[in-house]
C-alpha cells in the first residue's frame, strides 16, 4: 500500500538523511487511524482469558470474561487488579514484539488504588504511578471511577475561558 516510503527528519533546521521505515504507519495520513485499528485489533483477544465455564447447571454455560482493556485509536487502557496487571503488561509486550511495534513506557501510567503501590514494568522499564489519569479527556481515578468533580471543573474552566 505504501511502497517505497522514505522519511526525512528536520530538527533545529538540520535535515537528516533519507531512510526507509520498515514498520509503522504514516503520521498524518487519512488511512493511518484505520490501518492502526486493523493492526491492533488482535490485542483484545490476545489479552482475553479463555471463557469461563459455569458448571452449576447440567449444561455448561459459557460466561463472558470480564473486560480487561479499552481501545480507541492508539489510546489503550488495561483494567486489572494488582495481581494480574503485570501479566497483562507482559502480554502487551509479547504482542508488540510479535507484530514489530513498541509501546512507549514513558506514555504509560498506572492508577493504583492499593496502599502498597506495587511496581509494574514494561520492557524492564518501571511505569509511573498516579492518583488519576485522563483517558480521552475524562479523568479516571483508581478502580476505574470517573472523577466527576475534576471533570466538572475542567468543563467549567473550559467554558469560562471562552
- In sequence order, the 6+-apart residues with CB closer than 8 A to the CB of 132 are 111, 139, 140, 141, 142, 147, 150
Chain-centre distance for alpha carbon 47: 12
- In sequence order, the 6+-apart residues with CB closer than 8 A to the CB of 138 are 146, 151
Cell of 83: 495481581
Winning range, highest mean pLDDT, from 15-19, 91-95, 143-147: 91-95
Global pTM reads: 0.70
Reported confidence tier of residue 55, pLDDT bands at 50, 70, 90: low
pLDDT for res 64: 52
- In sequence order, the 6+-apart residues with CB closer than 8 A to the CB of 73 are 33, 36, 37
- pLDDT exceeds 60 at position 3: yes
The domain limits of the chain are: 1-28, 41-130, 132-162
Q: Which residue has the higher pLDDT, 119 or 82?
A: 119
Reported confidence tier of residue 92, pLDDT bands at 50, 70, 90: very high
CB 52 within 8 Å of CB 42: no
Amino acid at each position: 500500500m505504501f511502497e517505497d516510503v522514505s522519511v526525512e527528519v528536520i530538527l533545529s533546521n538540520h535535515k537528516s538523511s533519507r531512510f526507509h521505515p520498515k514498520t509503522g504507519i504514516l503520521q498524518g495520513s487519512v488511512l493511518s487511524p484505520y490501518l492502526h485499528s486493523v493492526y491492533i485489533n488482535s490485542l483484545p483477544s490476545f489479552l482475553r482469558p479463555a471463557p469461563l465455564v459455569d458448571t452449576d447447571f447440567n449444561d455448561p454455560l459459557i460466561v463472558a470474561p470480564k473486560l480487561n482493556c479499552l481501545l480507541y485509536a492508539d489510546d489503550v487502557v488495561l483494567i486489572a487488579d494488582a495481581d494480574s496487571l503485570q501479566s497483562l503488561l507482559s502480554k502487551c509486550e509479547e504482542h508488540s514484539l510479535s507484530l514489530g511495534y513498541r509501546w512507549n513506557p514513558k506514555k504509560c501510567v498506572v492508577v493504583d488504588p492499593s496502599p502498597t503501590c506495587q511496581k509494574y514494568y514494561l520492557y524492564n522499564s518501571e511505569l509511573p504511578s498516579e492518583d488519576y489519569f485522563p483517558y480521552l479527556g475524562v479523568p479516571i481515578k483508581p478502580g476505574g471511577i470517573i472523577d466527576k468533580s475534576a471533570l466538572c471543573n475542567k468543563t467549567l474552566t473550559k467554558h469560562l475561558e471562552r
